[in-house]
Amino acid sequence: MSSIALFPCTFTPVTEIIDELSRVLELRVYSDQELIADTSARFGTAPQRLEKMMYGGTSVFNQFTLEREMTINHFRAVLADRLAIPGRYLFDGLVASLIPASVSHVLRVLVAESKKERINHAMEQGLSQREAKRILRAKDVSAYGWTDFLFRKEAYDKSLYDLVIPVSGRSQSELVTEIIGAYRKTCVLHTAKSQQAITDMKLATEVEEHLLIHGHKVEVKASGGDITLVVGNTVMSFTKLARELSILAHQMKDVEAIHVEKSKDYTESIYRRQKFELPSKVLFVDDEKEFVRTVSERLISRDVGTYGVYNGEDALELVSEDRPDVMVLDLKMPGLHGVEVLRRTKELAPEVEVIILTGHGTSRDMQECMELGAFAYMNKPVDIEELSATIKEANSKVQAKAA
């Protein structure tokens, strides 16, 4: 049975269109919130966390945690099972982007309008111009962040949709009629080929999850039992990586053949398998930028995922929004003193373990920091192995508390 997927474009008459389409075509509406609820029930992830992964920005630590990749994989797994159930759906929201184009019996639709007209539409609903602009910007940033992460494309890129309908002053009835006309074309019929695309989606998702669990981020394509793994980053030994990926993928049921290839956008950054048992969310705070870069690179080479900021204000903002597990903090910085950053961090997120690293501290500073809950107090110049070991000890403490 054929379905429709409508991507959200804020302050267009899409809500009314969804209501009419679902009524006229007898489609069951399946929204982002239902996908979040189903994913939470299946994988045990808190709904609030799933909402953040869907609508929020990508964490600065994601390159080390692969958390957003895993969450999207779980969304796809739930959606593949939903698509496999006979029925006619109207997928409403960012969920629309998760349906592969190969599932051709789902018509992917964007109802679009200019920014000016969208603001006017919002004002007609009673919002001030300022409030309309604020909401519009926030919603578009979320939508653009989502499609950029998935496809490296803007949210309203026509290539992402089967049908793009500009409102252009047309009535709701006219817009609905155009969508229904496209929906009833033979190219949107449920066929054996489009059903196979759902089976392929399910298998690709299962293989991708298995690889992510083992720390590998690669694109996975499925065609029948044949799996193609696309590597996007340069590796020291492509042959060795291909062999490791093939062994892992062959462990999955229904996989018959494995092909590993380089992406057409094969980049020059080094591919590294993520080791999730090691620290992956370490915030480094120091106003000496070159020191931060150098030590961060040396820590990353030891599989310690590190992100650097250069003042206390930025550190506290990141703690509020992104929640590191461990912070390495300098005391003497312009602006907020390190002791104040430590105090506020412990107020905002007491679970964050803070390692003080300073070249100008006193015994009084050390006593104050330890009383405020610092995990360790270390002096510069620091031995990188000692720092790495201390970070790992702090991370172990965080993980033990979370277990």
In the predicted structure, residue 338 carries a pLDDT above the cut 90: yes
Q: Which domains are assigned to the chain? A: 3-190 (3.40.50.300), 193-270 (3.30.1340), 282-402 (3.40.50.2300)
pLDDT of residue 237: 83
> Contact at 8 Å (CB) between 230 and 221?
yes
- The conformation of residue 158, written as its DSSP 8-state character, comes to G
In the predicted structure, residue 238 carries a pLDDT above the cut 90: no
* pLDDT band for position 275 (cuts 50, 70, 90): confident
pLDDT, tens only, 183-199: 999 899 999 999 999 99
C-alpha count within 13 angstroms, C-beta hemisphere, residue 112? 14
C-alpha count within 13 angstroms, C-beta hemisphere, residue 96? 26
pLDDT of residue 393: 95
- The conformation of residue 10, written as its DSSP 8-state character, comes to T
In the predicted structure, residue 269 carries a pLDDT above the cut 60: no
Q: Is 46 exposed, middle or buried (0-12, 13-18, 19+ CB in 10 A)?
A: exposed
> Contact at 8 Å (CB) between 95 and 30?
yes
* pLDDT band for position 201 (cuts 50, 70, 90): very high
pLDDT of residue 155: 95
Predicted structure pTM score: 0.88
pLDDT of residue 182: 96
pLDDT, tens only, 12-35: 999 999 999 999 999 999 999 999
**Where is average pLDDT lowest: 49-53, 172-176, 220-224, 238-242?**
238-242
As a whole number, the mean pLDDT across the chain is: 93
pLDDT, tens only, 74-102: 999 999 999 999 899 999 999 999 999 99
pLDDT, tens only, 55-71: 999 999 998 999 999 99
